[in-house]
């Protein structure tokens, strides 16, 4: 749950007497629940119309407690439900107008005939999404998805569906694209990820082949642990190479 400062106490000059907060203070509040959120992400959500912070005469953003709460809803719906920003914006706007709405899910909408803004939808399972659902969630077209597939960034499963991680990959490819990093530039990252996966697989392969079901279950847990460690190491190495320290 988000914790917002009251009356600016304990935050120095970051919050005004009226309770408005600077973007830095908002970042600190959000990081309790969303450790990966950045100032760039907050500014991007503002540019997409998800929030409308006030501006000082000097142009600095000032956020109310309602702005922070709304940001929390947006980030939570992205993280937990893989919803496009357009859908999230329409849903939250409807809530603020006091309209009866249901939480939208990824999938094809059905008209309930009851005048609701979001009818109940056919949602994919948590572990996989269909091609149409992936396109809708990432807000991309067939051509873009085909390009990403050609570079190996996203690959369908044997039945044509995609695992849920493909949604995360799509979102990251899009965000990197805002900085001019094209999908073809990401092939090296894909190759490095495959090498890391191969190393992890060498470690856990003997456990996976074991006859004991408990040992095979242990292999799954060990795979997740090693995957997390490789991700952290990769992040640390990139930061070291760039000479920066991420929050």
Write down the pTM of the prediction.
0.48
For the chain, domain boundaries: 124-181, 185-247
Q: Residue 29 contacts by C-beta under 8 Å, 6 or more apart in sequence?
A: 2, 3, 4, 5, 21, 68
pLDDT in tens, 101-132: 776 654 433 333 433 444 333 333 345 778 88
pLDDT in tens, 25-54: 998 899 888 888 888 888 888 888 889 999
Pairing relation of β-strands 162-163 and 61-62? unpaired
Q: What are phi and psi of 69, to 5 degrees?
A: -65, -40
We find that the CATH architecture of domain 124-181 is: Orthogonal Bundle (1.10)
Rounded distance, CA 58 to CA 135, Å? 40
Rounded distance, CA 82 to CA 170, Å? 11
Pairing relation of β-strands 162-163 and 128-129? antiparallel
């Amino acid at each position: 749950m988000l914790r917002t400062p009251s009356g600016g106490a304990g935050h120095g000059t970051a919050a005004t007497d009226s309770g408005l907060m600077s973007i830095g203070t908002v970042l600190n509040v959000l990081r309790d629940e969303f450790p990966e959120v950045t100032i760039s992400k907050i500014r991007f959500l503002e540019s997409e119309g998800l929030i409308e912070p006030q501006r000082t005469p000097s142009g600095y953003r000032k956020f109310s407690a309602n702005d922070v709460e709304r940001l929390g809803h947006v980030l939570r719906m992205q993280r937990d439900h893989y919803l496009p920003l357009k859908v999230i914006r329409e849903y939250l706007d409807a809530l603020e107008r006091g309209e009866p709405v249901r939480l939208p899910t990824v999938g094809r909408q059905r008209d309930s005939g009851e005048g609701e803004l979001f009818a109940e939808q056919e949602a994919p399972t948590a572990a996989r999404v269909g091609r149409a659902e992936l396109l809708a969630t990432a807000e991309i077209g067939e051509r873009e998805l085909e390009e990403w597939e050609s570079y190996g960034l996203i690959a369908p499963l044997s039945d044509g569906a995609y695992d849920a991680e493909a949604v995360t990959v799509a979102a990251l490819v899009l965000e990197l694209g805002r900085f001019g990093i094209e999908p073809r530039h990401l092939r090296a990252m894909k190759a490095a990820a495959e090498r890391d996966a191969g190393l992890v697989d060498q470690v856990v392969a003997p456990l996976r082949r074991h006859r004991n079901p408990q040992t095979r279950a242990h292999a799954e847990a060990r795979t997740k642990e090693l995957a997390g460690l490789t991700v952290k190491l990769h992040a640390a190495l990139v930061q070291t190479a760039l000479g920066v320290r991420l929050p």
